[in-house]
Amino acid sequence: MRLIIPEGYKSLITLKETEKILQILKDHFESGLSSDFRLRRVTAPLFVLQGTGINDDLTGSEKPVSFLISDMRDQVAEVVQSLAKWKRMMLRDYDIQIGHGIYTDMNALRPDEELDNIHSLYVDQWDWEKAIYPEERTLDTLKDAVVKVWQNIKRTEFFIHTFYAEIIPTLPEEITYIHSEQLYEMYPDLTPNERENKIAEKYGAVFIIGIGCNLPDGKPHDKRAPDYDDWSTETVDGYRGLNGDIIVWNKVLDCAVELTSMGVRVDKNELMTQLELTGDMDRVELLFHRRLLNDELPSSIGGGIGQTRIAMQLLKKAHIGEVQSAIWPGEMVDHCKRSGIQLI
């Protein structure tokens, strides 16, 4: 069992207060996200048809929950794991203008997750996607998006403080950018998770650029599917990747926590490059990939922001189960209860 029990931990607010503030927190963050990026809210699917290429296979090994649809000749549907590709199709299908976009309240199941303080079977995210001009597929565009998301997180942190004075803002004003290759050069003998802990503790909040491209040791900092984020393009600074993760230092758990992933999306050339790099060329026949290769989808940037991760971080909670109702191993539930961690 992977579980961190902070010494002397006690929640700063009660379960009743937590339930009350959660919706207020989410409404505030969602409103800022919509305004900052000029996004309209859309309804998200809970499941999609298997074999369309729409569902996200994340790092490539996770298996989605699936079921047969009796009234559709037993076609197989899959519960979504994320909506990275679906959102891009909706930009075109909803005729979203360049410079505008969509966001949705995404609910997903990831049964292969290893459960601990920050990982759950149930994932709830603000998934967003914005249409951009092809010439805007740059590192500057990515960094501009990072700043907007970070400022929204900081505003929400202070907003919570106005409700509960004991929940004191601690996140740094600015976010630090570092490329995964730079991070590797700094700590070549550490694992990716250990590198994240080192850099997050040092700066408080970092955006690690280039998640998915191979580092000098032949392995990526973390795996990314080849068909949505652009992680192989070489940028003006000589590094590769137009995507990344916001990582913060969690002072309750004394570890790094990822709050969001985002990236400039692949064009058809980078799609083919990355499919070849990962050995997934058979995907070119799937619905999503055919539409991209036929120039039917706009250039875009987008990401997924963890709702319960944000809530857990800003409310100073020790376990994601304190802000989300889910299923946990019995041993974990018992240990949390004995340690004063009240799971919903």
Distance of CA 88 to the CA centre of its chain: 16
Distance of CA 332 to the CA centre of its chain: 25
CB atoms within 10 A of CB 9: 16
CB atoms within 10 A of CB 224: 27
Q: Which of 125, 180, 299, 307 is catalytic?
A: 125
Concerning whether 56 is annotated as a catalytic residue, the answer is yes
* CB environment 129-165: b (16+ within 10 A), e (fewer): bbbbeeebbbbebbeebbeebbebbbebbebbeeeee
CB 41 within 8 Å of CB 31? no
Q: In sequence order, what are the residues at sequence separation of 6 or more whose Cβ sits closer than 8 angstroms to the Cβ of residue 334?
A: none
Runs of H (alpha helix) within the chain: 15-37, 84-93, 139-163, 180-186, 192-203, 268-278, 287-293, 307-314, 330-338
Q: Which of 222, 258, 280, 342 is catalytic?
A: 258
CB 125 within 8 Å of CB 305? yes
Concerning whether 95 is annotated as a catalytic residue, the answer is no
Concerning whether 280 is annotated as a catalytic residue, the answer is no
**SS3 call for 131:** strand
Between CA 165 and CA 265 the distance in angstroms is: 40
254 Rama class: left (phi>0) / alpha (psi -120 to 50) / beta: left
CB 173 within 8 Å of CB 223? no
Tokens of 330: 């019995």
CB atoms within 10 A of CB 70: 8
Concerning whether 82 is annotated as a catalytic residue, the answer is no
Concerning whether 114 is annotated as a catalytic residue, the answer is no
H or E element: which one contains 69? Answer: strand 66-69
CB 171 within 8 Å of CB 248? yes
Concerning whether 27 is annotated as a catalytic residue, the answer is no
List the helix and strand counts (H, then E) for the chain: 9, 11
Q: Which of 30, 124, 229, 245 is catalytic?
A: 245
Q: Which of 120, 180, 261, 274 is catalytic?
A: 261
Active site (catalytic) residues: 56, 110, 125, 245, 258, 261
